[in-house]
Amino acid sequence: MPTLGLITGYWFDIRDLSNLSRKIYELLGDAGAPDWLIWVLSALLGTLGIISFIGAVAIVNIWVERRVVGRMQSRLGPNRLGPFGLLQPVADAIKLMQKEVLQPASAPGLIFSAAPILFTVPGIALMAVLPWGRNMTLADLDVGVLYILGMSSLAALSVFMAGYSSNSKYSLFGAMRVIAMLVSYEIPIVVALLGVVLFAGTMNLQGIVLFQETYWAPMVLLQPLAFLVYFFSVSAELNRTPADIAEAESEIVGGYHTEYSGMKFGLFYAAELINAVAVSAIIATLFLGGWWMYKLDELVPGWMIYIGKIYAVYFLFVWTRGTLPRFRIDQLLNFAWKWLTPMALINVIVVAAEVLVWEESGWSAGFFVPLYIAINNLLAGALVVLFVRVLAPKFQRFPVRPRFAPEIDVPSLPAPPLMGEPRTDLPASGAYPI
Amino acid sequence: MIADNGIVIAFWVLAATTVGCALMVAAVRELIQAVLFLALTFVGVAGIYIVLSADFVAVVQVLIYAGAVAVLMTFAVMLTPSADRRNSETAFQAPALVLAGMITAIIVFVAYDTDWPIADRAGFPATAASLGRAFLKPYVVPFEVASVLLMTAMIGAILLTKEEEEDEHA
């Protein structure tokens, strides 16, 4: 009777699921299975695990998000179907699948249909490099951080495909807004992650977690500025409410998915949830230490700690969504170029100097890590206060006029009569300049 | 050295996808479709880099070309005044075909004629770290010159597109 768990010898040992899978491969190898079969099986097994996690998350998070936002806004949220309304997302999914899928007659069919499918790909592909435990990574890429950036930059194109092929002006507005935003926010994201990579000395996600484990310092303490910049930029890239100008319901109907219905719309909806979880997982890995939690990861399975951290970050995203009003597009772009980008650049310069001093001096990490935590937190606090007090645009209670909008000569029409009075104000037909 | 059957299959599938999409870029009439096929070509080239176990270059190919360049091209297409008009027949079709055929012939000839060195390293060494070391130690001057060039181009673009300051509200 072979034992599957390597740590305790019990088959139900779930501290590190990779032990289980490794044992399966060893058994297969002993049974004489060829190498390629084991390789294909391991790839399928890992992918299956990740896909099932994504499926569970896409269903559960709808409920989580609606309930939490409901509580924040003094509402109830879904509470009718099942205990605590837990079956509501299932009902929603079934409803979406039953709905008729409409397509504008003038839409190019292939691009229109491919866009929602392509939109779900990056969020799922991102999950491949995440470290779920000490040895639990599906693809242990050396260039993990770059892979994340590359995958998330692919989403822009599918959003554009959706907006363009819908052949509707609201969809195109939404798509152009997304692209303008992504082009601006890519820079602070890359530069903020550069600070993390400089400190850890590797782009491998597992390596970054091991760095935090070695020095007992989550990256959010060492890199508070990078965390702030990354969090703000990524919540803009995710299209969530403080920055959801791409689908601003009160301005442009539904943005790039105005014309989508049925399960095609459902795919867009699910992909946004999946992206939010993927980004939460990236923040949990890079800034909060992934599966590592001081000594706790010796008692609790690493992937449980990791999922806990993912949901802690996800709560932050739901929090901002539930409390902040939507920005205008000029505010968002100004925020990216005039605050986030300079902050990220300052952060990179400071980090480069710190890493150089650390490496050249040869003193112990026990001296440098607390020192750098103090320096970087003070710097981040000082820069945020400086921005709020000095550099930010002054608060206008009565804005004179919207910036960037040229003056238009609005034709002054006579005021319409009150209800019940005869309308005598209408000029002859054709007099209106519109 | 391509020894593995799987890698050979992967190479041919990727090569067929890449070349097919590149042909479609020239063949389709609508500009947006051409840009989308171009993005697919970029992804196919990234796949070929992965087959060659150059992971850093592959990921950068996706990040820069499929992510950024394709988006910039869609921007350019959207800003083109007559982008929605389909491309019509032109008189330059025949000479362009001849030119393209000649360039293809030259590339094929060079590819067959050159005695390519075969790397005897194993797959996937840490390419990112060695690339970084090469950029910042022996090749630091070209690297910095390229950075300055890009900076100049960026400042130039900003200057060219900057509108005249209007003194309406100062």
Q: Mind telling me how many Å the CA of A202 is from chain B's nearest CA? A: 8
The reported pLDDT for the residue numbered B54 is 80
Instruction: Convert the pLDDT of each residue in A68-124 to its tens digit.
Output: 888 888 888 888 887 888 888 888 888 888 888 888 887 777 888 888 888 888 888
Residue B131 has which token pair?
């690339």
Beta carbons of A298 and A214 less than 8 angstroms apart: no
Out of A225-239, A410-424, B48-62, which region has the weakest mean confidence (pLDDT)?
A410-424
Beta carbons of A61 and A222 less than 8 angstroms apart: no
d(Cα A281, Cα A268) in Å, to the nearest integer? 20
Instruction: Convert the pLDDT of each residue in B25-44 to its tens digit.
Output: 888 877 888 888 898 899 99
**What DSSP state is assigned to residue B83?**
T
Q: Which residue has the higher pLDDT, B148 or A83?
A: B148
Residues of B in contact with A143 (CB under 8 A): 55-56, 59, 127-128
Measured between CB atoms, does B28 come within 8 Å of chain A?
no
Length of chain B: 170
Q: Which of these, A204, A194, A200, lies nearest to A214 by C-alpha position?
A: A200
Pick from B62, B75, B124: which is nearest to A150 by CB? B62
Pick from B30, B32, B128: which is nearest to A142 by CB? B128
Give the chain B residue nearest A115 (alpha carbons): B36
Pick from B59, B70, B74: which is nearest to A143 by CB? B59
Inter-chain contacts counted by CB atoms under 8 A, chains A and B: 68
Instruction: Convert the pLDDT of each residue in B100-126 to its tens digit.
Output: 999 999 999 998 888 887 766 665 566
Average pLDDT, chain A: 80
Max CA pair span of chain A: 97
Give the chain B residue nearest A190 (alpha carbons): B63
Residue A154 has which token pair?
């692919």
d(Cα A305, Cα A161) in Å, to the nearest integer? 38
Q: Is the pLDDT of residue A336 over 70?
A: yes
Instruction: Convert the pLDDT of each residue in B70-93 to its tens digit.
Output: 888 887 887 777 666 666 667 788
The reported pLDDT for the residue numbered B64 is 86
How would residue B170 be classed by pLDDT, with cut points 50, 70 and 90?
A: very low
Pick from B33, B55, B74: which is nearest to A160 by CB? B74
Instruction: Convert the pLDDT of each residue in A19-48 to its tens digit.
Output: 667 777 778 878 777 777 877 887 888 888
Give the chain B residue nearest A143 (alpha carbons): B56
* A146–B71 C-beta distance less than 8 A: no
Residue A416 has which token pair?
């319409």
Give burial (CB, 10 Å; 0-12/13-18/19+) of B53: middle
Could you report the predicted ipTM of this complex, rounded to two decimals?
0.79
Residues of A in contact with B39 (CB under 8 A): 157
* A154–B71 C-beta distance less than 8 A: no
Measured between CB atoms, does B83 come within 8 Å of chain A?
no
Beta carbons of B37 and B21 less than 8 angstroms apart: yes
Q: Which of residues 127-166 of A touch B (CB under 8 A)?
A: 141-143, 146-147, 149-151, 153-154, 156-157, 160-161, 164
Measured between CB atoms, does A371 come within 8 Å of chain B?
no
Instruction: Convert the pLDDT of each residue in A203-213 to its tens digit.
Output: 888 888 888 88
d(Cα A167, Cα A108) in Å, to the nearest integer? 9
* A161–B36 C-beta distance less than 8 A: yes
Pick from A146, A154, A161: which is nearest to B60 by CB? A146
d(Cα A278, Cα A175) in Å, to the nearest integer? 22
Residues of A in contact with B54 (CB under 8 A): none
Instruction: Convert the pLDDT of each residue in A337-359 to its tens digit.
Output: 888 888 899 999 999 998 888 88
Max CA pair span of chain B: 71
How would residue B1 be classed by pLDDT, with cut points 50, 70 and 90?
A: very low
